[in-house]
């Protein structure tokens, strides 16, 4: 391929420039989607943390919430600190303490 005339350069530019614009748009779209996904995960994590230990949640509900925390390794440090310091009372507290221990163990291994 020999680009010697200005027509040749214009022809290639008319192909390359739109492709570059499409590629840029695709990259921006993916980055935006990633930011939105991160924000949704941030909100979900905070909803779980707010509900964990609330008076309206049962022991089994708290166990399920604790299990869900395993999906957030990026918050590992705060999850470990929180679960190590939450006081568990009431009937079947042993179940919840065991779930806390399993989650803490998994988080420490990651």
pLDDT, one tens digit per residue, over 40-86 is 999 999 999 999 988 888 899 999 999 999 999 999 999 999 999 98
What is residue 92's DSSP assignment? T
Which residues does 72 contact at the CB level (< 8 Å), separation at least 6? 41, 45, 79
59 and 108 part of one domain: yes
The answer to whether residues 56 and 106 belong to one domain is yes
CA nearest 55: which of 89, 103, 98?
A: 89
Statement to judge: residues 20 and 57 lie in one domain: no
Same domain, 59 and 77: yes
Give the pTM. Answer: 0.76
Using pLDDT thresholds of 50, 70 and 90, give the confidence band for residue 89: confident
107 is in which domain, residue-wise? 52-110
């Amino acid at each position: 391929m020999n680009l010697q005339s200005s027509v040749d350069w214009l022809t290639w530019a008319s192909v390359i420039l739109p492709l570059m614009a499409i590629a840029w748009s695709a990259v921006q779209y993916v980055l935006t989607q990633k930011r939105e996904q991160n924000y949704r995960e941030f909100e979900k994590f905070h909803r779980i943390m707010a509900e964990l230990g609330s008076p309206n949640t049962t022991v089994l509900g708290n166990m399920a919430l604790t299990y869900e925390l395993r999906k957030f390794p990026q918050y590992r440090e705060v999850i470990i600190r929180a679960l190590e310091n939450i006081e568990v009372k009431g009937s079947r507290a042993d179940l919840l303490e065991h779930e806390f221990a399993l989650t803490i163990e998994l988080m420490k291994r990651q």
